[in-house]
Amino acid sequence: MNFGQNDSPNEKKPGGDRPKTNFWTPLIIALALVLLFGWIYNMVSNSQYTETSYTDFRTAMEQNQLAEVQYRGNRVYYLTREEAAKPAAQQRACYTGMPGGDWLTVSNELVANGVKVEEQIQEDNSMILMVLYYGITFAILFMFMRTLTKRMSGDGMMGGFGKSKAKVYMEKQTGVTFKDVAGQDEAKESLKEIIDFLHNPQRYTEIGAKLPKGALLVGSPGTGKTLLAKAVAGEADVPFFSISGSDFVEMFVGMGASRVRDLFQQAAKVAPCIIFIDEIDAVGRSRDNRYGSNSEQEQTLNQLLSEIDGFEPSKGIVCLAATNRPEILDKALLRPGRFDRRIIVDRPNYQGRLDTLKVHTRKIKLSEDVDLKKIAQATAGAVGADLANLVNEAALRAVRMGRKAVNQEDLLVSFETVIAGTEKKNTVLTEMEKRLVAYHEVGHALVSALEKHAQPVSKITIVPHTSGALGYTMYLPEEEKFLSTRQELEVELKSLVGGRAAEQLVFGVQTTGASNDLQRATSLARNMVSQYGMSSDLGLMTTATTQNSYLDGTPYMDCSQDTAARVDMEVKKLLDTAFDSALAILKENRALLDEVSEYLLLKETITGEELMAYVNAAREPKEAPVEETAEEAVTEENKEE
């Protein structure tokens, strides 16, 4: 769509023409304020005196009733003897005008009567100081009022509180296109359709199709929802308004609704355009009492709903929104005709992670030994932000090591840094602690290596790391799987408790090092019972429901207390069975456990290939001695004789 008519330097910005600021308005207001301040000052300064006539002053002087007299300017301030006898806080002085030629005669007479007389001569520069004082005050007020009126005329409300804070991107100013987004092919297809509708609406209107008013980007943090929206701005040749849901919420009542109105007014003036609301759950939260609510948030949401309903699809205004908490959004926001299209921005699969790594390493110098396929295979479950951080950490490590390019080791070490943190080189373990950690980690690895349906071990280390781990066992899946069988989960349980089983078998102790393993094992066993229907007692009944599936995904129990107790018993049974099985495996292969552990103590870090070399050597059948029969023994004896 051609916008050439608006490409001139004098193009109108979204929001329309701004009225010119009036010069006389702040000038008149500042002058009125200065006069008002002067009048108030005179009123306050004179309020402590009582005004009288000159005749009353002469009468009091002739009757010798004056105690103190002060001549200031053209006025006489006096205090009678009756007032002077009162406490200082209760004294009330009087003042009256004094003709210029009478003061000399009056002052001589007052001195003769013993009255205290004081004369304050007005300095020549007092008038100049007063003019400067009022002039500076006027200038400050004028500048303040001029700035305030500019903001009021430009923003529509005082301070711009009712003005939308949306950032406006024109054409490709974001610098991001769909080429910069990898691993989200399905989401890009849905967004490309919206962009195509804006560019070629006649293709859809000919068949009777209507442009969807809103689309909701839903996914876990770091999957690239905001990046996708910026890519839309880079691909579309229409104005793109970007705003966060929290920008609508203010401490002043009604400001959120005002900003919603202003945002859609700006969008209507430059339509066709795209409006993107990031973290819409900040303003679109459900209005029921389950999650709590307030009147300001409800007013803002109601205004947003009415604005979305207020424009016609033919205008070409499309609303995009992003959230990772779709379950708390108001149902009215998701009904058909509003944000009825949901675009899932999920965690990337293997190919998506590989493409994402290629995008993030385009500007990184890589050595020839780099194999991004192995990194993509090792980072199952990682999102785009994780992969970007991994590549950046690898580049930083290459610089620290003094290399000009990133190699495979940098990427693998960075991946381990993200998982377990950096190595703690100053941590010194006792000999007993090192042996405990070594047998613990080898216990994990051996159970996995000797069982079917287990993930292959990639690395075993007993070097302490900053995450708090004194050692860890890393697994590298051979292929990406989206389903797990009960046998695979049971093997994973055995592997998780294998470290505790090795401690108890070899040393007869239980240490705190297995705490994280037991937490993960308990969580897995509980999920098997409460969500996967893998319980021998409860059968197919599920007893837990997952909340915030795009965040932590923590389930909560949705059953009676009696059923919850039965779930706990089933979880304990699964853990006990897994522990007994792991203990039996290690007892059967005790010599292999000792051999690999001693090797790990010697090297501190071994690979999965080294582990499997020991395991395969132990599995090879040894040549058994051939037993001689009785007849063969007799024959041998005859030969000897």
User: Which of residues 539 and 367 earns the better pLDDT score?
Assistant: 367
* 288-305 confidence digits (pLDDT tens): 655 445 577 788 888 888
In a shared domain, residues 410 and 323: no
CATH of the domain at 448: 1.20.58.760
Could you give the CA distance from residue 271 to residue 245 in angstroms, rounded to a whole number? 22
Query: Among 18-32, 190-204, 341-355, 542-556, which is the least confidently predicted range?
Result: 18-32
pLDDT digits (tens, 9 = 90+) for 383-426: 888 899 999 999 999 999 999 999 998 998 888 877 666 666 66
The model's pLDDT over 63-91, given as tens digits with 9 standing for 90+, comes to 888 888 888 767 888 888 888 888 877 78
What lies within 8 Å, CB to CB, of 570 at 6+ separation is 525, 529, 535, 536, 537, 538
Hey, what's the torsion of the CAs at 629, 632, 633, 635, to 10 degrees? 160
Determine which helix (DSSP H) or strand (DSSP E) holds 382, and give its type and residue range.
none
Alpha helices (runs of H) in 270-342, residue ranges in sequence order? 295-310, 331-334
Neighbours of 623 (CB within 10 A): 5
Between 150-154, 392-396, 503-507, 566-570, the lowest mean confidence (pLDDT) is in 150-154
Amino acid 49: pLDDT: 75
> Residue 294: its pLDDT value, please?
57
Whether 301 maps to a domain, the answer reads yes
CATH of the domain at 415: 1.10.8.60
Count the Cβ atoms, other than its own, within 10 Å of residue 337: 12
Q: Specify if 59 maps to a domain.
A: yes
Residue at a domain's end among 286, 319, 344: 344
Please tell me whether residues 363 and 257 are part of one structural domain: no
Looking at residue 269, what is its pLDDT? 84
- Residues noted as catalytic: 441
| Band of residue 522 on the pLDDT scale cut at 50, 70, 90 | very high
Stronger pLDDT, 344 or 7, i.e. the higher one: 344
> Dihedral angle at the C-alpha atoms of 424, 428, 432, 435, nearest 10 degrees?
40
- The CATH number of the domain holding residue 69 is 3.30.720.210
**pLDDT class of 638 with cuts at 50, 70, 90:** low
Q: Do 312 and 354 fall into the same domain?
A: no
Q: What is the mean pLDDT of residues 261-271?
A: 83
Say yes or no: 436 and 568 in one domain.
Answer: yes
Q: Tell me if 268 is assigned to some domain.
A: yes
Which is nearest to 278 in space by CA: 196, 353, 219? Answer: 219
Q: Around 561, how many Cα atoms within 13 Å sit in the side-chain half-sphere?
A: 0
Q: Is the sign of the CA dihedral 504, 510, 514, 520 positive or negative?
A: positive
Residues 173 and 321 in one domain: yes
Q: What angle do CA 240, 323, 176 make, to 5 degrees?
A: 40
The verdict on residue 557 lying in a domain is yes
**Per-residue pLDDT tens for 460-517?**
988 887 666 788 888 887 777 778 899 999 999 999 999 999 999 999 999 998 999 9
Give the end of a domain, one of 366, 387, 419: 419
Model confidence at 631: pLDDT above 60: no
| In a domain? residue 115 | yes
Amino acid, res. 505: L
Three-class HEC string of 582-596 = HHHHHHHCHHHHHHH
Cα separation, 98 vs 120, whole angstroms = 14
Q: 112 and 191, same structural domain?
A: no
pTM: 0.65
- Band (46; pLDDT cuts 50, 70, 90): low
Instruction: Give yes or no: residues 305 and 447 share one domain.
Output: no
pLDDT for res 14:
40
Which is it for the CA torsion 587, 588, 592, 596, positive or negative? negative
Asked if residue 143 is part of any domain, the answer here is no
Q: Looking at the domain assignment, is residue 372 inside a domain?
A: yes
Let me know whether 450 and 311 are in one domain: no
Same domain, 389 and 450: no
Confidence category of residue 316, pLDDT binned at 50, 70, 90: confident
Residues 478, 591, single domain; the answer is: yes
Does residue 64 fall inside a structural domain?
yes
CA atoms within 13 A on the CB side of 252: 13
Residue pair 444/499 in contact (Cβ under 8 Å)? The answer is yes
pLDDT the model gives residue 529: 92
How high is the pLDDT of residue 67? 85
Count the domains in the chain. 4
Instruction: Kindly report, residue by residue over 250-259, the tens digit of the pLDDT.
Output: 644 567 788 8
223 within 8 A of 383, measured Cβ to Cβ: yes
* Secondary structure (DSSP) of 442-453: HHHHHHHHHSTT
CA distance 548 to 145: 50
- Structure confidence at residue 113 (pLDDT): 81
Range of the domain at 88: 48-122
Residue 18 has pLDDT above 80, yes or no: no
Q: Which of 344, 368, 401 is the last residue of a domain?
A: 344
Q: How confident is the model at residue 155 (pLDDT cuts 50, 70, 90)?
A: very low
Q: 95: which 2 tokens?
A: 């003042």
Residues 260/243, Cβ–Cβ less than 8 Å: no
Same domain assignment for residues 361 and 452: no
Asked if residue 384 and residue 438 are part of one domain, the reply reads no
> Do residues 278 and 219 touch, judged by C-beta distance below 8 A?
no
Cβ-contact 285, 330 below 8 angstroms = yes
Tokens (6 digits) for 581: 């099985």
Strands 214-218 and 116-120: unpaired
